[in-house]
Amino acid sequence: MNPALATFGELLLRLHSGGDSRFLHTSGYIPYYAGAEANLCVLLARLGIPAQYVTRVPDNDLALAGIAQLRGHGVGVEKVLYGGRKLGLYFSETGNHIRPVQVIYDRAGSAFSELQPGMVDWESFLKDQTHFHWTGISPALSATVADVCAEAIDIARSRDLVISADLNYRSRLWQYGKHPNEVMPALLKHCHIAIADLDACNVYFGMTTDPSLPWTRRFEIAAQELQARFMPETHTLAMSFRVPENDRLHYTAALMSGGKAYFSRLKIALPQVKESIGTGDAFAGGLLYGTMTGLSPQETIDFATACGVLKQSVPGDWPLFSKSEIEAMVAQGINTRISR
């Protein structure tokens, strides 16, 4: 059976403060459609992997325009549910090397956050899929969405699907009375492929690593502990890193597969970041592409790293670049020559 991916997450409208202005003095906002799982779907669909997206949005033109964009990139949207009154929103202002990007969420009461168990026909949705992907953002939105996520994982397991998850901790979203460590460990224990980071490991599992150690060693320690203690079914685990070196940040990544660590051959200095939002989703999409198409672990982590680097050159949330651009990045690193 050819690889085919199903994803579950919230479609969002992002309003970005125009002209690199701060919220306090912006004169307008640039709209982008967004969502971690949608971003990943866009990349995989552009790379030729069938990607089905399940979400719930209101039946209005604002939501339908976003669905049309997904369809235009080749994402399967036939299983989208329509209902509720509000599309999830978030607002962003540009950061720089002095201050970080700022995000304000407006997702409470959205159509997706009001999902209840039984609303999604998971048996039908997962029928022809080989992989199921979710992220830690969905269970953060409401207790009922966390229950729907657990429902999907149970059906995916019964169908022997490969289950992947991006841990994606968002501190400002966990507002319904439960700490993430009460919810996430039970959902993640059946994950086969994971994209993690050291902060999420600490919040979800109470794991810490010595910050004085090299990033490579911190990765090895964290990956081994995750797989041994908390995520026993995980066979592939990856993390991306921004490593300070010679007064510049360098983007790179690491992968644990079969008990062996693989470190990306790409360590790219970030001369000018156009857009940091969506970088992790592009990295996750590249990782899944590699594992779904039979790339070696080393080829997979190199490919995923290139996706993460390229996304930082593209405004908006969608990872709008091609396989040839990714392969060129793997082979050559950053290339500033005019392509003509």
Handedness of CA 183, 187, 191, 193 (dihedral sign): negative
pLDDT digit string (tens) for 70-93?
A: 999 999 999 999 999 999 999 999
Residues in the chain predicted with pLDDT less than 50, given as ranges, are: none
Of the chain, the percentage scoring pLDDT greater than 90 comes to 88
Residue 320 backbone dihedrals phi, psi, to 5 degrees: -90, 75
pLDDT in tens, 167-205: 999 999 999 999 999 999 999 999 999 999 999 999 999
pLDDT value of position 340:
59
- Residue 99: predicted pLDDT: 82
Is the CATH code 3.40.1190.20 the one for domain 235-340?
yes
pTM of the model: 0.96
> For position 319, what pLDDT does the model report?
97
